[in-house]
Every structure is written in structure tokens, then in C-alpha cells.
Structure 1
Amino acid sequence: GGAAPVVSALLPVPALRRQATLLDGFAAELAASCPGTTLERVPVRRWADLWSRALLLTLPGAGRTAAVSTATGRLLPLGVDLQEHATAVQAQVHAVLEPADGTAPRLVRAAVSAPKPDTVVGAGLWQLLRPRMSLLAAAGEGRSVELDAMPVTAEGDLLWDDGRARTGEPADPFATARVILSTAADPVTAPLDRHPSRIAVPVLLEGYATERADDGALALTVAGHRLAVDTDRIPAAGPLTPEAVAASGACLGLLRWDAGEFALQPLAVETTVRKKTAAVHAGAWAGGTTDKAGARAEKAATDAVAVLRERAGKLLRT
């Protein structure tokens, strides 16, 4: 499209990569929406936010590198937030860091992203991300990670380096949430990122009632307050489903703000199966799976990736 030359020129420059990715995605959305008369609804709010964000990123100082320190201690994953676009995919692991120096625990994040063809979907997305960050395997297996001088920004983003991480002991995310989450310090958000759409606060909810509307919308009632569940954010690349959320007794998720109200994005739930408590995690397949449904999806994705690589090889040889 018309944005391709600009994106190609921006991508090789690390300082401009955020702008390039945003422009690439925005241009792809606009192109896919043409002609506009075929749209059921024009996403005015989303497109306005994307355009505003793009303009802010061009301001002097917007791309300034955040202050970086180091983190040493035990990392306890809470869940994986998988975000998929037609041309890119990102997995963000939300976790609690217990510093080795005995200071208060704090909330941190670690993200990994990769470009993707639109034919790779579902469980196949993990194949694009796994080689780039070992934390995904630990999060999928429910294990802690020992960090040694891992770079971390003031906003709580770990600049992941596999050489500074070692997989540790089993760590149940629900146990972590029940024991530590309420005392973990929140990171300070950079001024440029203080937008309601960026709100994603890890929370643990228990003792709620679930209700489902005729249109399928799911909500939880907690202490007399109704909280909508954003089931659209539940990825197809994992075993978590809206039905599992509706049947759950505890939910670990991200509290978000959208369209004037708070909503919950589930990351994991606890359900009762044959009188036993079982946990279902959205990122359970991040490191691989022996689950039958997950294994089938992985195989299909592997075949699709193999075909794409073969075609790419033929193109390069011609």
C-alpha cells in the first residue's frame, strides 16, 4: 500500500520502530476497511486514538529512552496477555517481582512481539514467540523465574534477556495473587502512556456471581457491583473460554477501562471439576502442550508455517 515505503524506511531504525509498527497496523486497518460503506460500524474512537498516538510519538522527546535499572530476585508470573493483529503478535507476561534485597514486591511486565503472516493464527502464534523469550515457557508451565540483574524500566517493563533468567520452582499464579498481589507496588506510568486504554491492572476476584445476557455478554457481580467481562480479549491460542469463566469461582485477570466503564480481561480461572479445583490459563499453551486440542492446533500451525517457509525459500532462490 501507500504506507509501505515509509514503513520500510522506518523499521531499520530502532528509535522509530514504534512509529513504524503503529503506522503499518493503522494503514492495514484502513486498507481492509475500504470501501467504508461495507463497514457495520466505523471505529471512530479507535482510529482517533491511533492517529493521536502517532502524532504524540513524533513530538521531540517522545522517543526518549526510559530510565533503566536492574532487577534481581524471584519473578512470579500471574498470566499472559496475548494481543494479535493481522501483521503482528505480542505476548505480555504480567508478574510479581520479589526483589532479592528484601524490599517490597512490585508488579512488572515482560513483553515479546513478532511480525506474522495473516495465515498463522490460534496456537500457531506461540511458535513465533517462543524462540524470542524463555519466560513464556515458565509462565505456561506455572514456574517461577530467578532473575540476575535483569534490566527494568521505571514503568515496570523488564527488558528481557534470557541470559539473565533461570527457570525456578513451581509457582501457582493463584497462590501468588492471594498472598502477594495486594501488597505489590504499582509501577509509575510514563506521561506519554497515561491513556485510559493503557490501564491493565492485575486483580484477583473471588466469591462473585456470574450472569449471561441473551446476547451472550458475560458479567460478574462482586460485592453488589456489576463488572463486565471482556470475552473478546480471551485468545483462541489457549484453553480458556468464556464458558470456563462463566463456570468459575475465582478469576485472575486485568482490570481495563474502555468506552466509559471498567471491564475484566480474564487471564485464568479456577473451576470445580469432579469436586476438585482446576485452573485454566489463557497462556497455558505458551510453552507447548500435551492437551489434545492444543496439540492439534499446534500441528496445524506447524504445517502452515512449514508451507510458508518453503514458499519463501522458493522465492529467494528464483
Structure 2
Amino acid sequence: MAVTGWRGVGHDLVAAVDPTIEALLADPASRRVALLLDGLAAELRASSPVARMARVPARRWGDLWTRAMLLTWQGGGTAGAGEPVSGRLLPLGVDVHEHPTAVQFQVHGVLESGGAGRLVRASVTAGKVDTIVGPAVWGLLDSHPVLLAALAERRAVEIDGMTLLPGGDLLWAEDAAEAGEPADPFATARLRLDDATAPPVPPLERHPVRIAEPVLLEGYRIDGPDLVLDGHRLRIETGNLPGCGPLTPALVAASTACVGLVRWDAGGWSLRPLAVQATVKRKPVAAHGGDWALGPTDPKIVKAQAKAGDAVAVLRERAGRLLRR
């Protein structure tokens, strides 16, 4: 691609990267760069031949290509040695990053350790196919019961000796985690978010797309696509609400309080909701992105899922048949 340029990309060039991606996927240490390259290749394949495109997303593709190069230079991992930490993790919400071939659940929270509070992120990633969508994606994390229970039941997590990287990434390990007492994310945000220490950003991570600052907003009003607070407008990312949870644009529009991530995208600031409090039919309602981690609670969704069947279980059963042959 460096030689041909974006306009020179076609099906033959994209197909040539498949063996490289397969080799990277087979190496657990290279899984991060493999998923990134797989996503970039999928976008290029869907857009081929690029020469026929009216407008090339050069900025996005350039960022993805450069990021993959830097990860390769780093050996596919995150720079900086981690430290073992113990304490209580208070989840604020989960940000779901979904792609046809992969999904990542990034839990933002406050880690209470040694009397101090620190902002951390714990990410869990799973490979998937494009037929696994909606609430079914939670089935990919059945090997992480503690994390799922913490999200669905809104509980704290007691951790012991889990690795924390300098940039604030908590390397999730189920054997180092135990479900704790109930912990309302809104209470955590009101009581602990102000004095929680944000981690320093590693040099190679200093890109605007990485900005995801947890905030609590109250006393605002919704005006079309914007949240208005004290005369300031902030675009709400209702188009990126995950289909695996109960958050909907209508619920966000009716909300009176929101825990979300302030992000920078397309030359402006925006808010990605993780949880909202609203009044629905004169009753207070709290909806969180991880409420369906142990299964949907909406009767309509439950009925639809029962009718469609468990996509993850079906695919695993079919894969097992192929392996037995």
C-alpha cells in the first residue's frame, strides 16, 4: 500500500495480506495487531477497487495503518512494565467496540487501592463472526463470569495481584478477581470520580482518538442531537449505542443524568453514554450498557432471542463437529 497508494488498492492486494493475518492470529502475543490489521483489511476489501471511490477516508485508514506499524515496532504489545495491584474496582460503565470479526468490552472504573482512587480500564476481547450481534455477543465472554456478574448486577470487584499498566490498563484475570458488594455506578461517579487520579498517557498512545474521559453529567437538557448544559452544547453519540444493552436513543433523550465518556472525533467533542437515569411512565429508570451481560431483561428481546436461538452455542457446536471429523 505504501507503494501503490490508496487509489491503487484492489482485491488482489488485499488478499495478499490474509496469510500474514492468519499467522499473527495464531500468536497470542500478536493478537492485538492482528485484529487491527484484520479490520483494516476488511474495510479495504469492502471498498475495493478504491480507485472507484468518490472520497477516500485517507485520514482514518492512515491512522489505522500507522497504528499497526507502531504496534509491530512495539512487538504487538503495550509499552511499559506493569505493576501488581490489589484493591476494590468500582465499575462506572462498559464501552463496547464491535466489529464483524471481533468485539471488545472496555470497562471503565475507579480502582481503590491504598486509600487512593485511580481511573482504570479493563478490556476483554473476543473473536466473532458477523452473525453474532446484539445481546448474543455476551455469550463470547462466558469464561469471564466475575466480570459479567459485576456488570449485570452492578457490583464492585475485589482484585488481588492483577497487573496494571502505566497507561491505566488493567490486564483482566478472572483468577485474580472476586465479585464484591453492590456498587451503583452513579453513586461511584458522584462520590469518587472527582478525586480519582487519571493515569499518564504513554507517548505512543497520544492520539485524539484515544481520549475517553469518564464524566458524570446532571441537570442538562437534550436539544436534538446535542446535550445542553450551562449554555454549552455537546454532541451525543446515539448512533454508537451498543445493541447488546438496554440503552436506546429515546432513553438517552429522556434522561436527566448520564455517566459517559467525553471523546474527540471529527474535529469536535462528543459524549458516549455508558449509563443514564430517566423517568419513564412516571417511574425512575436506570439503564446501564452492561445490564444484559448475563442475559437480556427486556421480555421482547428475550422472546426474540429464544426464537432465533443461541448463535454462539450453535456455531461452537458446528465447529466441534468439524474438529471431530
Deviations 1:180-229 (A, max 9, x none): 101100011111111000000100111111111xxxxx110111110000
**Stretch of structure 1 that moved more, 285-294 or 250-259:** 285-294
- Report whether the alignment pairs 1:303 with 2:310: yes
Shift of 1:72: 1.4
The counterpart of 1:13, out of the listed 4, 17, 27, is 27
TM-score w.r.t. length of structure 1: 0.91
Aligned partner (choices 237, 240, 245) of residue 238 of structure 1:
245
> Mean Cα displacement is larger for which, 159-168 or 293-302?
293-302
For residue 252 of structure 1, the aligned residue among 248, 252, 259 is 259
1:92 matched residue in structure 2: 106
* 1:62-110 alpha-carbon deviations (Å, 9 max, x no partner): 74652211221111110011110010011011011111x22x2011111
Of 112-121 and 155-164, the range deviating more from structure 2: 155-164
Aligned with 1:182: secondary structure? coil
Partner of 1:207: 219
- 1:67 paired residue number: 81
- How large is the RMSD of aligned CA atoms in angstroms? 2.1
Q: Which of 12, 16, 33 in structure 1 is aligned with 2:47?
A: 33
Distance 2:54 2:276 in 1: 33
3-state SS, counterpart of residue 105 of structure 1: strand
Quote the residue 2:17 is aligned against. Answer: 3
TM-score, with structure 2 as normaliser: 0.89
1:296 partner SS: helix
Counterpart Cα distance in 2 of 1:178 and 1:285? 24
Deviations 1:134-164 (A, max 9, x none): 2122112111111112211111111111121
Aligned to 2:92: 78
The structure 2 residue matched to 1:194, chosen from 199, 206, 211, is: 206
The separation in 2 between residues aligned to 1:296 and 1:3, in whole angstroms, is 41
Deviates more, 1:203-212 or 1:17-26: 17-26
Q: How many Å apart are 1:133 and its aligned residue?
A: 5.5
Q: Structure 1 pair 20/178, CA: closer, same or farther in 2 (3 Å)?
A: same
Q: Deviations over 1:260-308 (max 9, x none)?
A: 1110000011001344422111221112233313423543564323432
**Alignment partner of 1:22 is 2:36:** yes
Give the AA of the match of 1:86.
P
Separation in structure 2 between the aligned mates of residue 108 and residue 173 of structure 1, nearest angstrom: 14
The answer as to 2:138 corresponding to 1:126 is: yes
Q: Of the candidates 220, 231, 238, which is equivalent to residue 224 of structure 1?
A: 231
- Secondary structure in structure 1 of the residue aligned to 2:73: coil
- The 1-side partners of 2:317 and 2:157 are apart by 36
1:19-69 Cα shifts (integer Å, max 9, x gaps): 222111111111122244776754332111101112222336774652211
CA distance in 2, matches of 1:211, 1:75: 35
Contact 1:120/1:301, CA 8 A, preserved across alignment: no
Match in the other structure for 1:110:
122
Counterparts in 2 of 1:168 and 1:30: CA distance versus 1, 3 Å:
same
Identity of matched residues, %: 57
- 1:168 maps to 180
Asked if 2 retains the 8 angstrom alpha-carbon contact of 1:123 and 1:297, the reply is no
Decide which of 154, 158, 169 is 1:142's aligned counterpart: 154
Q: Does the 8 A contact of 1:239 with 1:294 survive in 2?
A: no
Distance, in Å, in 2 between the alignment partners of 1:79 and 1:163 is 22
- Alpha-carbon deviation of 1:2? 2.4
Amino acid at match of 2:271: L
How many correspondences in the alignment?
Answer: 311
Distance 1:7 1:297 in 2: 35
**Worse overlay, 35-44 or 181-190:** 35-44
**Residues in 2 aligned to 1:194 and 1:46: alpha-carbon distance in whole angstroms:** 16
SS at match of 1:117: coil
Aligned amino acid, residue 158 of structure 2: E
- 1:284-303 alignment to 2 at 5 Å? 284-296=291-303, 298-299=305-306, 302-303=309-310
Amino acid at match of 1:206: E
Change (3 A) 1:196 1:52: same
Aligned to 2:290: 283
